[in-house]
Chains A and B, each alone.
Chain A
Amino acid sequence: MGGTGDPRYRALAIIERAHRGAVEAQFTGPLYLARGLGAQLDGPIAVVLRGVAVTLAVAGGHASALHLGDRSFDTLPDPASDIRALLDRDGQVYVITQDCALLAVPIDRMVDGVVPIDAGLLPDLVECSALVWFL
């Protein structure tokens, strides 16, 4: 897991809170933060989605636009796109299978490349990381 560069900056981001403000956040959610932090590290970042945040990795979880007054507001958060961007930069994205089961989210609905893992593997991921952040 983690980056190919300096192991001192091998980072694991754990995201367990999600959907925290659409009109005010738009692109500035925890996945954007993970991307930004990863860009400043010497290698990609690993992201674990747990709790309700597993829904961030569902392919197609994006509304087209909201109509507010005369405005068509089309810059709503697009977490699946953020996930793809992380994966495109050689990042790794994991979802906790037990949380997917609790929410009845099928694993096959996830963005391609997202890896389902058992919750019991989280300590392994932490052990492999020099930097561990809850975002």
Chain B
Amino acid sequence: MELITGAPDRTLLLVLMATPHEADTATTMFRLADAALRAGHRVTVWTCGWATGLTLRSLGGAKPRNLASWSIDYPSTARLADDLIAAWPDRLTWVVCRFCMYDRGTTDQPDNVTLAPSRRFGRYLADADQSLMMGVM
């Protein structure tokens, strides 16, 4: 993936607290992550609460078939996250809060996400140039 601009190389921490399927916050997070990466920044996505389920392996690569549009492939959020990580392997880090993961039973996580204890949040915060807490659990 090519950068649009010269690399400013700042680190943005996006903390996704919002529950999927409640609002468009996960979509906004994906858009912000992609835009920041294209602009040459580093991004850390930290998911908490039910947002830890976005990357579940059990989601598979695609959503269930749309009974009204059988042939269309609808990628799962797990695949979208996987694709984004693959596009920016050196600039995007996807972290799943381990406490929330156990608390919500979302333990079937892929190898390319980092499982971090909740107490490590401060470290990621300190390592970031900017952070944005998105939504509530």
Contact = CB atoms under 8 A, between A and B. Distances in A.
Interface stretch (B5-13, B62-70, B109-117): B62-70
B42 to A, nearest CB: 14
Nearest to A19: B24
Interface residues of A, number: 22
Given A21-B21, A69-B1, A75 B83 contact: no
B24 A21 contact: yes
Contacts of A22: 24, 26-27
Interface string B16-31: 0000111110110011
A24 B54 contact: yes
Interface stretch (B72-80, B99-107, B118-126): B72-80
Interface in B31-72: 31, 34, 37, 54, 63, 66-69, 72
Contacts, number: 76
Contacts of A85: 68
- The interface residues of chain B, by DSSP majority, are classed as mixed
B117 to A, nearest CB: 26
Interface in A7-59: 19-28, 32, 35-36
A68 B74 contact: no
Given A20-B22, A21-B23, A27-B66, A68 B72 contact: no
B45 to A, nearest CB: 12
A68 B79 CA distance: 11
Contacts of B34: 66-69
A108 interface: no
A69 B86 contact: yes
A19 B67 CA distance: 21
B137 interface: no
B63 A26 contact: yes
Nearest to B85: A69
Contacts of B30: 23, 66, 68
B113 to A, nearest CB: 15
B27 A21 contact: yes
Contacts of B22: 20-21
A26 B69 CA distance: 12
A23 B26 contact: yes
B68 A68 contact: no
B134 interface: no
A75 to B, nearest CB: 5
Interface of B: 1, 20-24, 26-27, 30-31, 34, 37, 54, 63, 66-69, 72-75, 77, 80, 83-84, 86-88
